[in-house]
Structures are given as C-alpha cells and as structure tokens.
Amino acid sequence: MKLPAWIARHGSKRSAAAVINTFTRFRIILTNTVKYVTNVESYDRRIQSAINIHGRKMQRRAEFLPTRALRRAGWK
C-alpha cells in the first residue's frame, strides 16, 4: 500500500513517520521535532484540524472503494 504524500514527506531530518499495520490495528504516528513549534500560535488546533481534514478524506475513500470494486466487476 502506498502512503499518501502528506505522510510520506513527513520523514525529513526534523520529523519522523512510523506506520503500524497489523491484523487488528492500523496506526500512523507522526512526530515533529522542530525547535520553533512551541512558538506557533494555536499549534494544537491547527494540527487537529489537519488530522480531521485528512481523516474525513480517508473515510470517504474507504467508503468508495467497495463501490468502485463492484463497478469494475460489472455491477451497476
């Protein structure tokens, strides 16, 4: 499975990305270690907003995948 670009590019020298994919759990852990992050106004709110946006996109995609598979199989 290819990771979305916003996750894959998170693995620079000042951050890290870890993906845990087991039978019962799928988890993505992103760590940001830049020094200036405590100076960013409303940092927690901005991060949560980004997570919510991408979470909704992933949910819509997951809901559409069975429909696409059925269409490709010839079902209308």
Better pLDDT: 76 or 43: 43
Q: Residue 31 phi/psi, 5° resolution?
A: -125, 130
Better pLDDT: 10 or 30: 30
Query: Which residue ranges make up each domain of the chain?
Result: 7-34+41-72
Alpha carbon of residue 41 to chain centroid: 23
pLDDT at position 73? 92
pLDDT at position 11? 58
pLDDT at position 12? 60
Of 11, 16, 15, 6, which is closest to residue 55 (Cα–Cα)? 6
pLDDT digits (tens, 9 = 90+) for 20-59: 888 888 888 877 776 776 677 888 888 899 999 999 999 9
Q: What is the pTM of this model?
A: 0.47
Alpha carbon of residue 12 to chain centroid: 16
